[in-house]
Amino acid sequence: MRSNGFFPRQFLIVLFLPLFAAVVNGQTPAMDGLLSVPGIVVPELSTPAPALAESYPEFEQDRKPATLSYNAGGVRVLSGVRFERDAKANVYRWGELKLEDAGLAGVYWGFRSGGVGHNFLMFAFKDGTKVVVEALPWKKKGAEFKPFGGGISGEYALVWNVVDWNSFLETAVGRDKLYVDVYPMKVSREEQLRLLDAAITEATRDYSAEKYHTFFNSCSTNALKVFSKGTGHHLVVGKLLPSVVVEHLKLRGFLGDRQRSDASNQPGL
């Protein structure tokens, strides 16, 4: 992937990221390997503890906007990524995560059960990192999600969530007793990289004026938007329900075999 144009390659880049901690699967990598772009200097910082004061206290605490704090030379640093949950306090740890184009190993289309279902994209990397990018209704605390009530009347704001895969499974399988399916996407290497770029761009743009809509601005429509930008295929799906979208993509030959995570194969959750 080419640079976003912020810095010419021939110049020395010096970037200080205050309070930076890129944490993957609950472990902190060595700081000297945190950013591999030549010339970048990262100060040595300790891993932050889970925040007790939430930045969006009126909303449900399992989702909130992510931001792109660095993007150059095929390297991105995302802030506001959701990691593990303290089950007793029901508090998530939110931190930073580095993603490199060179490390991208695969792209997956996802389906989570429950209600009308849920679509998302999952990106896997060679170092074991797996990250979910998803669009969601941003509910107020205690509010019930009504897909054919509030979901079509503008009751919910739209929020994009970026979530570590282990955290996603802990919530979906461990807490909510649901199942999660992912399907490897049958796309080229160039399309994989474009899908990653489109997903991160969508997840970190300004959508403060947008409302969630079950049929026109939902988890499925936004995942399909990323799919179209990454592959150039513009699909017309009759019923934009997450399970129907999966079947449509399978029939069109874009998805490989299902990989399911549930209580039977995730006993520790």
Question: Contact, 79 vs 69, CB < 8 A?
Answer: yes
> Rounded distance, CA 47 to CA 84, Å?
14
Q: Which two tokens stand for residue 71?
A: 């993007």
Residue 13 pLDDT greater than 50, yes or no: no
Residue-level pLDDT at 267: 86
What is the overall mean pLDDT for the chain? 83
Residue 234 pLDDT greater than 60, yes or no: yes
How much is the average pLDDT of 116-121?
A: 96
**Can you give the residue ranges of every domain in the chain?**
31-261
Question: Contact, 162 vs 66, CB < 8 A?
Answer: yes
Residue 257 pLDDT greater than 70, yes or no: yes
pLDDT digits (tens, 9 = 90+) for 27-75: 333 333 334 444 444 333 334 445 445 678 888 889 999 999 999 999 9
What is the number of other CB atoms lying within 10 angstroms of the CB of residue 213? 18
Residue-level pLDDT at 54: 66
Go through the chain and tell me how many residues it has. 269
23 vs 63, higher pLDDT: 63
Q: Which two tokens stand for residue 137?
A: 């209704």
Region for residue 253 given its phi and psi (left: phi exceeds 0; alpha: psi -120 to 50; beta: otherwise) = left
Residue 200 pLDDT greater than 90, yes or no: yes
Question: Contact, 67 vs 96, CB < 8 A?
Answer: no
pLDDT digits (tens, 9 = 90+) for 163-177: 999 999 999 999 999
